[in-house]
Amino acid sequence: MFHYQSPPNLLQDKIILVTGAGSGLGRAAALAYARHGATVLLLGRDEAALDAVYDRIEAEQCPDPALFVLDLERADENNYFELANLIHGEFGRLDGLLHNAGVFAPILPLEHHALDSWQRLLQVNLTAPFALTRACLPLLRAAESASLIFTSSTAGRELRAYWGGYAIAKHALENLAALFHLELENTSNIRVNSLNPGPCATALRRVGFPAEDPATLPTPEALMAVYLYLMGDDSKGERGKQFSAQ
């Protein structure tokens, strides 16, 4: 497990966008960031779930969050730039962007992989992080120090049979993160890294492993040390690396 002791004010006055913030790792990260002083921008497709996270942050008297409803499976280019314009108008910059939203599919051979499932996996897990990053780059450039985190997977770092479009998307996402790092390496205020949370007790995990006992897995909350480290200024020197939470 990644070990890091974060100071209480680690993210004071930072503006951080979290995708997939309504549940699982995204919810845990959004709450952890808010508890450490950040203004968290909650993005997801389930407005009720985002409202619940929003209310929890307010109840804990953390900085007021913001909420953006966007279905990454159906979003088009205009949607991403409209979102970036809204953030610019309200906040002027982004100090961090955590690409956490994702979809999974049952484990099965490629020959049985339906095309619509394949396209959905690539759209949400790969195309959306590319499109959102591209739209938000001016906001990241406007920050004194910005962290861009792509959520990877063991399936994106090891070739495993039957993981289908999910594995393809995550392998490509690692390359996407590496390319953004190379293209931004002369932009001293933006650091780019990928993060593999590993198996944990989330609804996404249950799609692929319905018979698995979630009690045998760490909770999302137990993995937040590395999420905090990579988003805070203690990680300013970390660039173009592959991190693992476990």
Q: What residues act catalytically?
A: 166
Contact indicator for 181, 239 with CB cutoff of 8 Å: yes
The H or E element containing residue 88 is helix 77-90
176-195 b/e (C-beta count within 10 Å ≥ 16 → b): bbbebbeebeeeeebbbbbb
Contact indicator for 45, 69 with CB cutoff of 8 Å: yes
Contact indicator for 69, 86 with CB cutoff of 8 Å: no
- To which residue do tokens 């002369």 refer? 186
